[in-house]
Amino acid sequence: MSAFSRFTPLIRALPSTVPFVGPEAIERQRNLPVKARIGANESGFGPAPSVLAAIRARAGETWKYNDPENHDLKQALAVHLGIRADNIAIGEGIDSLLGLIVRLVIDPGSVVVTSFGAYPTFNFHANGFGCRLATVPYAGDREDLNALLDAVKREDATLVYFANPDNPMGSWWEADDIVAFTRALPETCLMILDEAYCETGPASAMPSMQALIEQPNVIRTRTFSKAYGLAGSRVGYAIGTPGTVQAFDKIRHHFGMNRIGMVAAQAALADQAYLHAVVGKIKKARERIAAIAADNGLLALPSATNFVAIDCGGDGVRARAVVDGLMQHGVFIRMPGVAPLNRCIRISVGPEHDLDLLAEALPQVLKAL
């Protein structure tokens, strides 16, 4: 059957692709069970017991829509971050917020600057609204701030995307460098500062709230999907000036947040002791992954995230063979999508059992290569 004939020219021109293939789809396609789910940068350590208790206590309320103003979580975040509630917008994870931000500022043909090989879901949204992507290469396996700024000015860009710490390489910049970059941006260019991994990175890499809160052309995005262990709840938030944040109300899905997910996020935010403990587990797991890599003659790159990029010492073909080979053993991982980053594989941290399976399977896969 042919496709519906009234799709827009933009939609007809877009390729039928998705940014990521999920582990469930891989299981179905290859008839291979995932035994170690260490590829999607989730938290295998799970949420706090206090969060699970809060979910159980409030599960009966799931028949209700969530408060469309997301009032309680905004208030809790404002206290936690030392800012005002009207500096915060809530969304269905950072991925949804990225789509809304692009929609706020992009006209067909507008130029968006990003790094070549950076988080592909942002490109997915930008392309979906008809922008023109201008990309700059990584330098030394981290995003190149100077090149990004040059591209913004050269292209008269409307929007620039930058993640710190970075996905997929795990690298980071210090806070002073980030602030200097934002100060040098033209006022007409909006910056997305994606801080999905802010809890797992060094404190020195995170600009203070006060350093950027007055800049109307900077939006910071954060999530409960990573260190807080709530990827399935889809709760993220954006931080900006009240005028910038208020614009989300014109286009967001006002009943998009699920009520139990919001309960979970508030309980997670309240349990900072558990978050601190998980961050320690993440650091320990990164060290274990690096040791497994070294034991197999591979090089783990420094990481400030909940994953480790590992240089496989070849090209994308070799890295893909490692990814596919590990899946044959039930170990699900991923890899960057473009050269030269795709010489690496990317392994998310996880419980000891998952890393034991990795340690057992990796030498067998490399030997087969």
How many CA atoms lie within 13 Å of 187's alpha carbon, on the beta-carbon side? 3
Give the C-alpha separation, 329 to 260, whole Å: 35
Tell me the residue type at 94.
Answer: I
Average pLDDT, the chain: 96
Tell me the residue type at 77.
Answer: L
DSSP 3-state assignment of 191? strand
At 237-254, the pLDDT tens digits run 999 999 999 999 999 999
Greatest extent of the chain over all pairs of C-alpha atoms, in Å: 57
Residue 11 has pLDDT above 90, yes or no: no
Considering Cα of 99, then 105, then 106, then 107, what sign does the dihedral take?
positive
Instruction: Give mean pLDDT, residues 82-87.
Output: 98
Q: Count other C-beta atoms under 10 Å from residue 157's C-beta.
A: 24
Give the C-alpha separation, 335 to 320, whole Å: 7
Give the C-alpha separation, 289 to 40, whole Å: 15
At 18-41, the pLDDT tens digits run 778 888 998 899 999 999 999 999
Beta bridge pairs of residue 112: 133, 159
Of all helices (H) and strands (E), which one includes residue 279?
helix 272-295
Closest CA relative to residue 121, chosen from 38, 241, 40: 40
Which tokens belong to 211? 């350093």
Instruction: Give mean pLDDT, residues 111-121.
Output: 97
Give the C-alpha separation, 296 to 292, whole Å: 7
**What is the pLDDT, as a whole number, of residue 1?**
46
Strands (E), the chain: 36-37, 88-91, 111-115, 132-136, 159-163, 190-194, 218-223, 236-239, 299-300, 307-311, 331-332, 344-348
Helix axes 259-270, 49-58, angle to 10 degrees: 150
Instruction: Give mean pLDDT, residues 297-317.
Output: 97
**What is the pLDDT, as a whole number, of residue 54?**
98
At 180-218, the pLDDT tens digits run 999 999 999 999 999 999 999 999 999 999 999 999 999
Domains of the chain: 19-46+273-368 (3.90.1150.10), 49-270 (3.40.640.10)
Q: Considering the chain, what percentage of its residues have pLDDT values greater than 70?
A: 99
Output Rg (C-alpha) for the chain, integer angstroms. 21
Listed in sequence order, the residues at least 6 apart from 141 whose beta carbon sits closer than 8 Å to its beta carbon are 169, 171, 301, 309, 341
Q: How does residue 270 score in pLDDT terms, banded at 50, 70 and 90?
A: very high
Q: Considering the chain, what percentage of its residues have pLDDT values greater than 90?
A: 92
Q: How does residue 4 score in pLDDT terms, banded at 50, 70 and 90?
A: low
**What is the pLDDT, as a whole number, of residue 253?**
94
Of all helices (H) and strands (E), which one includes residue 82?
none
Bond into 165 cis (ω within 30): yes
Instruction: Give mean pLDDT, residues 43-69.
Output: 97
Q: Count other C-beta atoms under 10 Å from residue 269's C-beta.
A: 19
- Comparison of pLDDT for 169 and 16, the residue scoring more: 169
Give the C-alpha separation, 104 to 204, whole Å: 31
Which tokens belong to 340? 């030269």
* Residue 309 · residue 335 · CB < 8 Å: no
